[in-house]
Structure 1
Amino acid sequence: MEDELIASDGLSLRRKSLLPGTGFFYPDSLDEDRADERVREAVADAEVVVVADTDADGLGSVALIRAAYDAALDPDPFLEKLEARLESDDEGEIEPDDPETPDAEDVVESPLADPEAEDDLPSSSVAVVGAGPHNIEDALERVAEFAPEGIDLYVCDLCPDRYEYVEDELAAAVETAGSVRWFDHHQWGDAVAESVREAGVDLVVGESDEECTADVTLRSMEYDFPEHLAELAAVTRDHDLWLKEDPRSDDVADFAYWTDPETYVSVVGVAGPDLPPVVERYLAHRREEKEQLIEKAVGRAETHEVGPWTVGVTYGRCSQNEVAEAMRERGCDAAVIVKPAGSASIRGTETFERAHEVAGQVNGGGHPKAAGCKPDIYDDMLDYAHHWTTEGATTKRVILAAFERVAERAAEEDEAATVEAEGDAEETADETAAVSEEETPDAGPDGDAGADHVVTGTDEDDEDGA
């Protein structure tokens, strides 16, 4: 098959919005082989290895660690590559995985991820190994297998749901490394944190509503960081905690989103949050296409009344948060964005906080207002072909059916709550009546109800009549 058939940089905007990215067409086995090879090459001569989330927070932490080890790279070769791509308008595939769906929407294919393109790029003695919250163990396993013995190992901006998920791989990495430090700011379970520490790891976890991982790294490393890196941590926090007080935070977040880890770390390691002009031009170019893809998805949206909710449903390769917000502004209680790769994002509002329940019905999960799923309905490429040519018709139908089931459950819960409330009210009334009877004085021999104890007026009346 010709490479051009799965490359999307030459497609019209409409076709690009209907088809998945290039990475979708790579088999998992090939991805695993390529990941092995890349990690092997990255860590072969490393003195330090950082396993990090590839968002701005995780990669910002890598930049700080490189500075502490005096291993920052000259960003000029990376910026020259970026300039060349911008001039040729060769967008490539730089779409990251959707962190809120169980399966990757698209595999990240950075413009600088081609091994041939990397031949003339510098490398650092502090290697970065990208990972996500659901594949920490894979990254640790590769480090244990390929990294030299005695390295300093860091893990940044990652939190395992359960210790059992990383137990064996972490033990192997600890055995390979000379030291292991783990910096994070997510909410850790006490048992998980204790187990990680008992494995021989120096774990530092910051307050999730006050610090980002770059903050934790900044205060945990015994190094006097320059002002531009302290500022990078502050700007990263502004985005990661959704404070939205510094306009530069959107820039660093989008730059990390749309480029490869080495380029991001090298550039911000020297520039901090004040990105070079070529990066600003690149972001503006990417945002233009991003907005156009959002408009395409919003234009395809349809609404459905499901139980008490108005559900907006659309299809396309797009930024789901902005599309969901547009649907909310149109009066939707919930939004479903079906992606070309077969997964879907489900977003809620103040009037719909059951997104995780819907996703749970169709091979997914998440949070009350943000969840993801990938219905188990794709058996072969014909199913995917139908998916692309019908704009996700089957997936939409399956997810709407899940909404129906959740609506039925919600109605049953409301009915049960009403019956329980009515029962509680009746029980309270009966108890009140019983108490009233107990407090009513017994009638005297002449049938009077204990007149000596009956108050017939106010306190003032009683005093006047005394």
Structure 2
Amino acid sequence: MYDELIDSGELPISRKSVLPGTGFFLPDSLEDDLEDQETKAALEGAEVAVVADPDADGLACVALLREAYDDVRTVPDPAEEAATADAEVETDPDAAETETVGLDDDESLELPAPTPHRVALIPASPHDFEDALARVAEHAEDGIDLYVCDLCPDKYEYVEAELEAAVETAERVSWYDHHQWDDDVAEAVREAGVDLVVGDSEEECTADVALRSLEYDFDERFEELAAVTRDHDLWLREDPRSDDLADYSYWTDPAEYAEVVREYGADLPEWVEEFIAERRVEKEALIERAVARAEYREIGGYTVGVTYGRCSQNEVAEAMREAGADASVIVKPAGSASIRGTDAFDRCHEVAGLVDGGGHPKAAGCKPDIYDDMLDYAHHWTTRGATTKQVILDAFRAVVEDEPDDGASNPA
């Protein structure tokens, strides 16, 4: 297959909005090999491993842990680096020539590798973080401290073997989260030898849990970082900086995000703000496309908005809420979906739980198990997620039918 067929970078917005990103088309075997190599490199010489969801909440926990373990690096300012390079060229005429000469065919450029962190970040998806636990068990040195952050297994058997192997490797294992945990799953994780701390999903984000659980005297910068992260993660939207954190964590490399917020907290530096502003031009265009596709269904007295597209789900859900939706479903080209609620509907995690997902009462995610081959995905793209929409709307109906007759859950 030609690279340009799966490279979405140069696609017009109309097509980029309905197709998944390049990473979707990479074989799992190739992705697994790359993740295995990256994990092995990250864990070399590490004293701590952090398996975390690479969103703003999970990465804030990484920043807290690196501060607590004194694994501190100074974040370079790109503008200052560029100015320094220009000054070197001006004072050394040969420097400019060196930049343009290049290498002979039989030479290779060997750049110094960055010094590995003592607190290693192992990014992990909520759908397959058991693989990350297995890699830690395989590649980490015996006696390492292991932290799992912002991740929640739907069933203990999904992570049982991998977690037990990781517990055998690690000196201690701590798990911080704020999702909706099944009591039996939580008990099994604790019985496996894990210090599990689960915060109230309506009051705390995982960064809050880590902040109060770690035995370290954090300064106000980190308290503020947790508060602003919570503002976005719980969809409170009272601090405009929370959107900046969420966007930056989505658009940049997880390692960069963790280091920047560790150094700057919630007040991002100017060069990051400029980067975010540039990326938001495309972001707003994708949001507009998804909002324009929105349809609304009446289900058991609730208005449910449903749409499709590669977009920022929270802003699209907010637009549908303003249009009268009590709950919103945003189906993504990769096959997953985000479900967002309101004060009128706070059972999103129950809806997601019926379609291979989970989350919070007002924010959840899922990926229905309905894709058997690429023809199913082709149908998904050309119909703008018709089957996925129907499966999730059926789950809404099942949840709503289970409500008390007095409609206590719906204040309307």
TM-score for both structures, normalised by structure 2: 0.77
1:291 to partner: Cα distance: 1.4
1:43 to partner: Cα distance: 0.5
Query: Equivalents in 1 of 2:217, 2:361: separation in Å?
Result: 42
Report Cα offsets for 1:139-159 as digits up to 9, x if no partner: 211101011112122222333
Q: Which amino acid aligns with 1:140?
A: L
Q: Aligned match of 1:289 in 264, 274, 282?
A: 282
Aligned to 1:156: 149
C-alpha RMSD over aligned residues: 3.8
Aligned to 2:97: none
Structure 2 unaligned regions, length at least 5? 83-108, 407-412
Aligned to 1:223: 216
1:290-309 correspondence runs (5 A): 290-303=283-296
2:128 pairs with 1:135:
yes
2:112 pairs with 1:144:
no
1:243 to partner: Cα distance: 4.1
Distance 1:12 1:184, change over 3 A: same
2:30 pairs with 1:30:
yes
Aligned to 1:329: 322
126-135 vs 276-285, which moves further = 126-135
Aligned to 1:8: 8
1:163 to partner: Cα distance: 3.5
Report Cα offsets for 1:191-247 as digits up to 9, x if no partner: 444443443333344444444333333333333334423332333233334444433
2:405 pairs with 1:402:
no
1:25 to partner: Cα distance: 0.5
Query: Equivalents in 1 of 2:22, 2:351: separation in Å?
Result: 29
Aligned to 2:68: 68
Distance 1:369 1:238, change over 3 A: closer
Aligned to 2:19: 19
1:10 to partner: Cα distance: 0.9
SS at match of 2:315: helix
Structure 1 unaligned regions, length at least 5? 84-115, 419-466
Whether the aligned pair in 1 keeps the contact of 2:357 and 2:364 (CA below 8 Å) is yes
SS at match of 1:76: coil
Query: Equivalents in 2 of 1:166, 1:352: separation in Å?
Result: 31
Distance 1:69 1:346, change over 3 A: closer
Query: Equivalents in 1 of 2:369, 2:341: separation in Å?
Result: 22
Q: Which amino acid aligns with 1:5?
A: L
2:201 pairs with 1:201:
no
Query: Equivalents in 2 of 1:127, 1:247: separation in Å?
Result: 30
Aligned to 1:246: 239
Q: Which amino acid aligns with 2:47?
A: E
Report Cα offsets for 1:283-317 as digits up to 9, x if no partner: 12222221111111222334566786665443321
2:45 pairs with 1:41:
no
1:52 to partner: Cα distance: 1.7
Query: Equivalents in 1 of 2:199, 2:361: separation in Å?
Result: 24
Whether the aligned pair in 2 keeps the contact of 1:362 and 1:402 (CA below 8 Å) is no
Q: Aligned match of 2:374 in 381, 388, 404?
A: 381
Q: Which amino acid aligns with 1:234?
A: A
Whether the aligned pair in 2 keeps the contact of 1:358 and 1:402 (CA below 8 Å) is no
SS at match of 2:17: helix
Query: Equivalents in 2 of 1:342, 1:312: separation in Å?
Result: 18
Distance 1:120 1:395, change over 3 A: same
SS at match of 1:180: strand
Q: Aligned match of 2:332 in 331, 336, 339?
A: 339
Query: Equivalents in 1 of 2:339, 2:152: separation in Å?
Result: 23
SS at match of 2:216: coil
1:169 to partner: Cα distance: 1.9
Whether the aligned pair in 2 keeps the contact of 1:73 and 1:122 (CA below 8 Å) is no
1:87-98 correspondence runs (5 A): none
1:82 to partner: Cα distance: 12
Distance 1:366 1:144, change over 3 A: closer
Distance 1:351 1:156, change over 3 A: closer
Distance 1:168 1:5, change over 3 A: same
Query: Equivalents in 2 of 1:4, 1:264: separation in Å?
Result: 29
Aligned to 2:94: none
Query: Equivalents in 2 of 1:150, 1:286: separation in Å?
Result: 42
Query: Equivalents in 1 of 2:198, 2:55: separation in Å?
Result: 18
Whether the aligned pair in 1 keeps the contact of 2:149 and 2:175 (CA below 8 Å) is yes
Report Cα offsets for 1:369-419 as digits up to 9, x if no partner: 6555555554433443343344345555x449838x939995xx89x969x
258-267 vs 53-62, which moves further = 53-62
Query: Equivalents in 2 of 1:169, 1:21: separation in Å?
Result: 29
Among all aligned residue pairs of Structure 1 and Structure 2, give the percentage whose two residues are the same amino acid. 66
1:263 to partner: Cα distance: 0.2
2:263 pairs with 1:277:
no
Q: Which amino acid aligns with 1:337?
A: I
Whether the aligned pair in 1 keeps the contact of 2:300 and 2:400 (CA below 8 Å) is no
TM-score for both structures, normalised by structure 1: 0.69
SS at match of 2:378: helix
Whether the aligned pair in 2 keeps the contact of 1:47 and 1:151 (CA below 8 Å) is yes
Whether the aligned pair in 1 keeps the contact of 2:328 and 2:341 (CA below 8 Å) is yes
